[in-house]
Each structure stands twice: as structure tokens, then as C-alpha cells.
Amino acid sequence: GRVRHYKFDVEYMIKTPDCLEHVVMGINGQFPGPTIRAQVGDILHIALTNKLSTEGTVIHWHGIRQFRTPWADGTASISQCAINPGETYHYRFTVDKPGTYFYHGHYGMQRAAGLYGSLIVDLPKGQNEPFHYDDEFNLLLSDLWHTSSHEQEVGLSSKPFRWIGEPQSLLINGRGQFNCSLAAKLVNTTLPQCNFRGGEQCAPQILHVEPNKTYRIRIASTTSLASLNLAISNHKLVVVEADGNYVQPFAVDDIDIYSGETYSVLLRTDQNPNNNYWVSIGVRGRLPKTPQGLTILNYKTISASVFPTSPPPITPLWNDFERSKSFTKKVIAKVGTPQPPKFSDRKVFLLNTQNLVDGFIKWAINNMSLALPPTPYLGSIKFKLNNAFDQKPPPEKFPQDYDIFNPPTKNPNANIGNGVYTFHLDEVVDVILQNANQLNGIGSEIHPWHLHGHDFWVLGYGEGKFKDGDENKFNLTHAPLRNTAVIFPYGWTALRFKADNPGVWAFHCHIEPHLHMGMGVIFAEGVHKVGKIPNEALTCGLTGKLLVNKRH
Ligand code: C2O
Ligand code: CU
């Protein structure tokens, strides 16, 4: 493959993504950051310079497995030290699988601050995807708050706790409309009709199409919180790819997409070419308080300013979880794609609960709430710096009699920790994620869990508490490969993966405030087989001291 060079300058900027001015994080003056487009086998070389004046930064390449380059995973405290203001870090890694990916900040809540962009990997020239399309579009979905990520972060870590609330705007490719509606003429709203002269940063990016063609629409969600549903009026969507893996094609009217997931859908422009149509995204899974995000599908036969004749698609009811499950379960592997090993070597049960730690509200996994250490694990494990983090591994199961249907009333307390689950290289691991009731008995919510460094097979989703015998229902014949999977309220989700990638990898809820509140774990495997870690990944904490001492 060829080497593709990029220079990324990360900085805070004033932009008007939803027609109001906000401070956002951008790259090279752009928000969202530039789209990276590469071919399978290419080596990406991204020289990332921190142009923030007072804080560190890193960028994670979401969905890229980083075989042989675990120090390029871009996770502060895990794979590298945060890059200091003024410093440049060199991300060099191979993209080995075609698909739709994205990248984002992975330090503090910088993703919520807007540090993200798209990463698309094409097949090499001459090779064809297992489906046909004439052209494509890319939609990167996100949610926007009018409070800064710093204010959110402080509120989440305060006593009394301050929740971030619902987003003010939903963005499609970084564009939304807070004080006007594109559809005001057709819907019941107090907002005025949007009127754009041209050139506004919040004007929607219109999808211009020709009739009777097939378009691939790549969709990625980097939301901080929102679970979204995307629909295009009058048009069917045929799902063909999920998280960079081919799936058995299926047609739907709309798709659910959770933070951390990506999809490709095919759309046939077979509707009346004298109309334009809505592309809508709306909130699901939580009581929506945010207007839909909208843009237009424009048949080039007419002007893009011709107003659609009917209102935008109505987002399915937020709490119709049966509908959500039915969509999620339709995603199965394309016939002929690799299937999971028949047996696992190890089973890890992870109970997701909301707890108190010294009266602070946290999320905990088997009663441990993750707080990352100052020395990144990759270096501290490789150089056996045993003081760098808790040497006691976290529990691999939870008490059998734990009542997932009720809040943890008897003992609401959890512990803060940073221990590591260590796997043998090539061990086949099952993870059973178990959902439960929250702290105040307010219910159980959806969490999209994302694994770094691997794809996993989703073996199944179940209701209630996982019990002996449930593994007999695992789907071992067409389990989809993914890097993100949700747990539904009061349910479990079972995953299988092969620990075949030497390194240290985060596995966490992709909801930014949940991760900040401790909802994650750390996996490590084969770290002794990791090649020479570049010094620039090691310059902080105990590995930083090691570097200094070696020099004297
Ligand atoms: Cu896209 Cu660890 O996250
Ligand atoms: Cu969560």
C-alpha cells in the first residue's frame, strides 16, 4: 500500500454549527475535521499537532484494529500519553479492511467538544464491493450542547451531580438548525422557516441525486449521548455494511444507529423525480427533547429549493424498545463471512450498574468504576511498572443473586479502580454484558459498548438476567462481526472475540458522559509481543521517568 500523509492541527474555534456561535474543537480550521479517504493496505501517517493552548489531546481511529501498532490507537492513559500543547504526535498505522469508520478525540470529553471526522477505506482499484452502487454520500451524525464540554465534565463530577441533559441540536456533517426549522411550513412548530442566503455554516448539506440510480449512503454516529433513527421519506434503505463488515442485505424504512456504530445503506432513487424528500434523524431510547436533524434529498431533475410536499418522517416512538430490538437483530453476517470459533476459552460477565462512590454518582462494571491512571497501560505493562495501576484484576463475574430489576438499594456503593483484564494471546473470550436498573429506580437504559483493537461476533441478545443454558441460544452460524453492540434495558448481550492483537484496549460505553463516569474496562493481551513503542507515546508518568533515567 501507499503511504498517505496528513497534517492535523487540533484547535478550539468559533463556529456556528447550529446557526448559533459556539466554541468547538476543529482540525485545520474545519469542523468536523477533514475526511480521510484511503485504500485497503495503505499506511496512514497523521502528524497531529496540539494547537490547544492549555490542554492535552489525542485522536482515536474508531474501528481500525491497529494490528502491530497498538501505540497508534489514540487513547490517553491507555495507548499513549496525551499530546501536550505545541507538541506533534505521529500516528502511523495500516488500514486493512474496507468500510466506513470515523475518528474522534479520546481524552476527557473532547469528542463532546466536537473533535471528530470521517475515515473511509475503499477496496483497492479493480476490486468490487459485493453490491453495486453508482455514487455515494457520507453522513457523520452528532449531537450538540450549548454548554461547553468542560462545564459538562465538571457537572458530572460534582456533588450534587449535574446531568448534561438532552442535546440542543442534532448535526448532520456538523450542520444543524437551532433557531429555525427547515420544515416549519409543514410541521407544527414555533420555530420560523429557515432562510439561507448561501454560505451559512448551518445550512444543510443537500444530497443531490439523479433518478433511477443506486446510492451508497455511509452513516456514522459519533454522538455524545443520543441514539438516533435515520429515515429518508418515501425511500427504502438496504443495509449492507455495519462497523466495517458486510451484512446480509435487508430493506427497512429507517435505521437505528447508536453512538459508535457505522452503517452503509443503499438507496434507489426510484421515486417521483419532480419532488424532493427529507432526510431526518431523531432521538430514540431517551425521552426526546431535541428537534429532528434534517436535510434534503434533491432529485437533480428539479431545483433543490422545491419544498417537499409532505412533512419529514416521524421518528419511531423513543421507548418502543421492541422495535429497536427487531432492527438490531436483523443485522446478521453476510453469507460466507468468517464465523466465530465454536467454543470459548473464557467467559467474562460484566454487570452494568449505577452506583455511588463517596456520594458521587458513577457507573460501575462488577462494582468497579474506571478511573484511568496517569501512566498509559501499554508502556506500564510492557515495562512491568507495577506501581502504575491496580495489580489486582477486576472481577470476572458478579453475585448470582444480584437483582437486576431493582436499584442497588442494599449496597449502592462501588469502588474506583483501574485494574486490567488480561487474556492469553489468541484466547477466545466471551463477554456477557448484563444491564440492570439504575440508582434511583428510574429504569434501565441503552448502552452501546465499543471494543478497541478487535471486531467481535455478536452471539445474541436476551431479556432479563443471563442464566445457565442461555448459551445454547447463541447464534454461531451467522453472528455479525461488529465493534460496537448495545445492551437493551434489563437485558444481556453476548459477544465473542479472539484476543489476537497484542496491546491494551479499551472496552467501554460509547456514551461520552457514561465513560466519563467510569463505564468502561481495560483488556490486555500479548503485551510482551508488542514491538518497540515509540518514545513519543511514553513521555508521561512512570514511563516518562524511565526515559529520563535511561538518558543519564
Ligand atoms: Cu469511539 Cu473508545 O471510542
Ligand atoms: Cu452508557
Counting other chains too, the contacts that 146-150 makes at CB distance below 8 Å and 24 or more residues apart are 146/20, 146/22, 148/23, 148/113, 149/108, 149/109, 149/110, 149/112, 149/113, 150/109
116-156 tens-digit pLDDT: 999 999 999 999 999 999 999 999 999 999 999 999 999 99
Residue nearest to atom 1 of ligand 1 (CA): 62
152-168 tens-digit pLDDT: 999 999 999 999 999 99
Q: What pLDDT, on the 0 to 100 scale, is given for residue 441?
A: 84
In 3-state terms the chain splits into helix, strand, coil percentages (rounded to 5) of 10, 40, 50
Q: What are phi and psi of 306, to 5 degrees?
A: -65, 125
Segment 234-247 mean pLDDT? 98
Q: What distance in Å separates the CA atoms of residue 215 and residue 209, rounded to the nearest whole number?
A: 8
Contact 493, 461 (CB under 8 A): yes
Q: What distance in Å separates the CA atoms of residue 453 and residue 399, rounded to the nearest whole number?
A: 29
333-347 tens-digit pLDDT: 999 999 999 999 999
CA of residue 448 to ligand 2 center, whole Å: 6
Contact 126, 46 (CB under 8 A): no
Tell me which amino acid residue 339 is.
Answer: Q
Residue 410 has pLDDT above 90, yes or no: no
- Cβ–ligand 1 contact at 516 (below 6 Å): no
Q: What pLDDT, on the 0 to 100 scale, is given for residue 396?
A: 98
The separation between the first and the last C-alpha atoms of the chain, rounded to the nearest angstrom, is 40
Looking from the CA of residue 520, the nearest atom of ligand 1 is: 2
Ligand nearest to the CA of 62: 1
CA of residue 433 to ligand 2 center, whole Å: 12
- Cβ–ligand 1 contact at 62 (below 6 Å): yes
| Predicted structure pTM score | 0.98
- Cβ–ligand 1 contact at 452 (below 6 Å): yes
Residue 440 has pLDDT above 90, yes or no: no
CA of residue 89 to ligand 1 center, whole Å: 19
Helix (H, G, I), strand (E, B) or coil at 132: coil
Segment 247-267 mean pLDDT? 98
CA of residue 512 to ligand 1 center, whole Å: 9
- Cβ–ligand 1 contact at 106 (below 6 Å): yes
Burial class (CB within 10 angstroms; exposed 0-12, middle 13-18, buried 19+) of 68: middle
Q: Which helix (H) or strand (E) holds 378?
A: helix 377-382
Looking from the CA of residue 260, the nearest atom of ligand 1 is: 1
At residue 265's C-alpha, the angle toward residues 263 and 271, to 5°, is 155
491-538 tens-digit pLDDT: 999 999 999 999 999 999 999 999 999 999 999 999 999 999 999 999
Looking from the CA of residue 484, the nearest atom of ligand 1 is: 1
Helix (H, G, I), strand (E, B) or coil at 536: helix
Which of 165, 162, 161, 163 has its CA nearest to residue 144? Answer: 165
Residue 79's CB is within 10 A of a number of other CB atoms, namely 28
The band of 550, judged by pLDDT with boundaries at 50, 70 and 90, is confident
List the domains of the chain with CATH numbers.
3-124 (2.60.40.420), 136-330 (2.60.40.420), 346-546 (2.60.40.420)
Ligand nearest to the CA of 78: 1
Average pLDDT value for the chain:
97
Residue 429 has pLDDT above 90, yes or no: yes
> Which residues pair with residue 363 across a beta bridge?
354
Looking from the CA of residue 508, the nearest atom of ligand 1 is: 2
- Cβ–ligand 1 contact at 260 (below 6 Å): yes
Q: Which helix (H) or strand (E) holds 456?
A: strand 456-463
Ligand nearest to the CA of 508: 1
- Cβ–ligand 1 contact at 510 (below 6 Å): yes
Q: What pLDDT, on the 0 to 100 scale, is given for residue 147?
A: 98
The band of 432, judged by pLDDT with boundaries at 50, 70 and 90, is very high
At residue 405's C-alpha, the angle toward residues 404 and 409, to 5°, is 80
The band of 29, judged by pLDDT with boundaries at 50, 70 and 90, is very high
Q: What distance in Å separates the CA atoms of residue 486 and residue 285, rounded to the nearest whole number?
A: 11
CA of residue 523 to ligand 2 center, whole Å: 18
Segment 106-125 mean pLDDT? 97
CA of residue 166 to ligand 2 center, whole Å: 14
Tell me which amino acid residue 198 is.
Answer: G
The band of 552, judged by pLDDT with boundaries at 50, 70 and 90, is low
Segment 376-391 mean pLDDT? 98
Q: What pLDDT, on the 0 to 100 scale, is given for residue 437?
A: 96
Q: What distance in Å separates the CA atoms of residue 361 and residue 372, rounded to the nearest whole number?
A: 17
Q: What pLDDT, on the 0 to 100 scale, is given for residue 442?
A: 84
**Sheet hosting strand 360-365, strand order edge to edge:** 415-417, 368-370, 360-365, 346-357, 427-434, 491-499, 456-463, 481-482
CA of residue 136 to ligand 1 center, whole Å: 25
CA of residue 30 to ligand 1 center, whole Å: 21
Q: What distance in Å separates the CA atoms of residue 177 and residue 185, rounded to the nearest whole number?
A: 15
199-237 tens-digit pLDDT: 999 999 999 999 999 999 999 999 999 999 999 999 999
Ligand nearest to the CA of 522: 1
